[in-house]
């Protein structure tokens, strides 16, 4: 079965090709990858980040070579498997063109009608499977807010842990109109490593449940779980959040943050891992910001002078912010030369 679609219509389940007018007052020149091809045909499984890496040294700067601007975010040009991307080297800066040969007069991206099969979808910025589960689950809450939600007070057959299919008995204020609920472990504090102040409270998602019977206590059936569910865990109404449109760009102001959490409690993560950093909207961070991760430089002793010397940080990888709160932001590790650990410095790309 086939359907008609306009390439600039936004899909509700993909991150779309968009751009930013000016990420920083001063930009370094665009640098091509050493073996940048003249053209590339898109295949299923590609992401915009991966394709840009074929052409550019800094893949996150692809919105600049498409020469789009913020006003076009609402009407972005989507790229599909089978499309051919051309590299135009003729101008002062390289450009990427879609479906038109290099040098054709007036060659530029234009909205166009296309016919596609139902299973053909536009490319995403990055692999959404890595972060899609985080988009409709509140990661950051006020400690008092989570305490107001219903809690599990008993388990089926007095079991220590619950899993799929088990019953949980819940007390608290319950909206009977809500049938699907998310289950969270009590929140833990995220601390700024420099000031030692609590920046926010992070919850750990552990599963889903469906309301079966109202009452005091109410009865819930566990429908899925990522970890064992037990007494004391809290329930919040399930919410579906639209997938955000993300245009990779650099912050306009200087950023100096630290990684304060590697999600799910481990100490380090690699490419496509999710981390929280000690900065948010109040620091000027926003959705789509690309940040550099650096290994903190060690302090050493100069044996000749006995002075303490701080070694410089070294670049380790990059983050793409996909969810931003007041004092905390969550980023996807889009590149990593090694493990990204707690305490690593995060700064401008």
Give the rounded percent of residues in the chain with a pLDDT score beyond 70: 75
Measure the CA–CA gap between 349 and 347, rounded to whole angstroms: 6
Number of domains in the chain: 3
Looking at residue 107, its pLDDT comes to 41
Higher pLDDT, 142 or 161: 161
From the number of C-beta atoms within 10 Å of its C-beta (0-12, 13-18, 19+), residue 116 rates as: middle
For residue 73, what pLDDT is reported? 35
H or E stretch covering 49: helix 48-55
Based on the domain organization, do 7 and 118 belong to the same domain? Answer: yes
Residues 94 and 211 grouped into a single domain: no
Model pTM score = 0.72
Lowest average pLDDT, out of 82-86, 125-129, 228-232, goes to 125-129
Instruction: Output 12 or 116, whichever has higher pLDDT.
Output: 116
- Please state the rounded mean pLDDT for residues 104-128: 50
The two tokens of residue 261 are 């959490």
**How confident is the model at residue 64, as a pLDDT?**
78
- The pLDDT of residue 232 is above 80: yes
Strand partners, 117: 2
118 inside domain: yes
- Give burial (CB, 10 Å; 0-12/13-18/19+) of 33: middle
- Specify the pLDDT at position 231: 94
326 domain residue, yes or no: yes
Beta partners for residue 335, in sequence order: 318
CB of 224 within 8 A of CB of 166? Answer: no
- Residue that wins the pLDDT comparison between 303 and 65: 303
Task: Tell whether 174 is covered by a domain.
Answer: yes
Closest by CA to 114, choosing from 81, 65, 141, is 81
CA dihedral 95, 336, 261, 293 (to 10 degrees): -60
Residues 316 and 269 in one domain: yes
Residue 22 lies in a domain: yes
- Min mean pLDDT across 135-144, 163-172, 188-197, 247-256 is at 135-144
Contact 259/347 with Cβ under 8 angstroms? no
The reported pLDDT for the residue numbered 99 is 61
By residue range, what is the domain housing residue 197?
Answer: 137-237
For residue 258, what are the β-bridge partners?
345
């Amino acid at each position: 079965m086939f359907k008609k679609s306009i390439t600039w219509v936004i899909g509700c389940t993909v991150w779309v090709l968009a751009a930013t007018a000016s990420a920083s007052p001063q930009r370094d020149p665009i640098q091509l990858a050493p073996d940048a091809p003249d053209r590339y045909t898109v295949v299923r499984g590609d992401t915009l980040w991966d394709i840009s890496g074929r052409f550019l040294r800094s893949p996150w700067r692809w919105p600049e070579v498409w020469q789009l601007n913020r006003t076009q975010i609402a009407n972005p040009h989507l790229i599909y498997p089978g499309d051919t991307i051309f590299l135009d080297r003729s101008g002062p800066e390289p450009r990427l063109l879609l479906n038109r040969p290099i040098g054709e007069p007036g060659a530029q991206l234009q909205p166009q009608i296309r016919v596609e099969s139902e299973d053909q979808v536009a490319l995403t910025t990055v692999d959404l499977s890595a972060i899609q589960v985080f988009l409709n689950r509140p990661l950051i809450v006020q400690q008092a807010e989570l305490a107001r939600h219903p809690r599990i007070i008993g388990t089926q057959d007095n079991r220590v842990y619950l899993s799929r299919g088990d019953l949980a008995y819940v007390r608290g204020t319950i909206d009977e109109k809500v049938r699907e609920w998310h289950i969270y472990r009590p929140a833990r504090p995220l601390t700024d490593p420099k000031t030692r102040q609590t920046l926010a409270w992070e919850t750990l998602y552990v599963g889903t449940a469906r309301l079966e019977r109202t009452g005091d206590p109410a009865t819930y059936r566990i429908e899925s779980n990522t970890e064992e569910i037990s007494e004391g865990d809290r329930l919040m109404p399930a919410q579906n959040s639209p997938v955000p449109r993300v245009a990779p760009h650099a912050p306009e102001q200087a950023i100096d943050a630290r990684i304060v959490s590697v999600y799910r409690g481990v100490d380090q993560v690699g490419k496509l891992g999710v981390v929280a950093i000690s900065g948010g909207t109040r620091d000027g961070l926003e959705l789509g910001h690309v940040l550099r991760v650096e290994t903190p430089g060690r302090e050493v002793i100069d044996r000749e002078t006995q002075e303490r010397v701080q070694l410089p940080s070294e670049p380790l990888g990059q983050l793409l912010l996909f969810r931003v709160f007041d004092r905390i932001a969550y980023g996807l590790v889009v590149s990593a030369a090694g493990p990204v650990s707690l305490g690593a410095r995060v700064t401008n790309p």
